[in-house]
């Protein structure tokens, strides 16, 4: 499952911030690469949990 990555602008921030669907709302990243890394980690965690439930 590909998670949605949202780019947003936060007042007083030095640039855009990226958030990952399913992550804590305050958990934002300054680069898209960091957000993609977190999305991959969350996907792997979800897959491992689904496998465990079988």
CA distances for 49 relative to 11, 25, 52, angstroms: 37, 22, 5
Q: Is this model's pTM higher than 0.85 or not?
A: no
Model confidence at 1: pLDDT above 80:
no
HEC readout, 1-54:
CCCCEEEEECCCCCCEEEEECCCCCCCEECCHHHHHHHHHHHHHHHHHHHHHCC
At 41 the pLDDT is 95
C-alpha of 18 from chain center: 8
Nearest in space to 19 (alpha carbons), one of 6, 38, 32, 2: 6
Dump pLDDT digits (tens) for 2-35.
899 999 998 888 899 999 999 998 899 999 999 9
């Amino acid at each position: 499952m590909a998670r949605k990555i949202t780019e947003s602008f936060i007042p007083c921030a030095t640039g855009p911030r990226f958030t990952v669907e399913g992550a804590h709302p305050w958990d934002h990243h300054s680069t898209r690469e960091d957000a993609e890394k977190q999305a991959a980690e969350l996907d792997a965690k979800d897959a491992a949990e689904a496998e465990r439930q079988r």
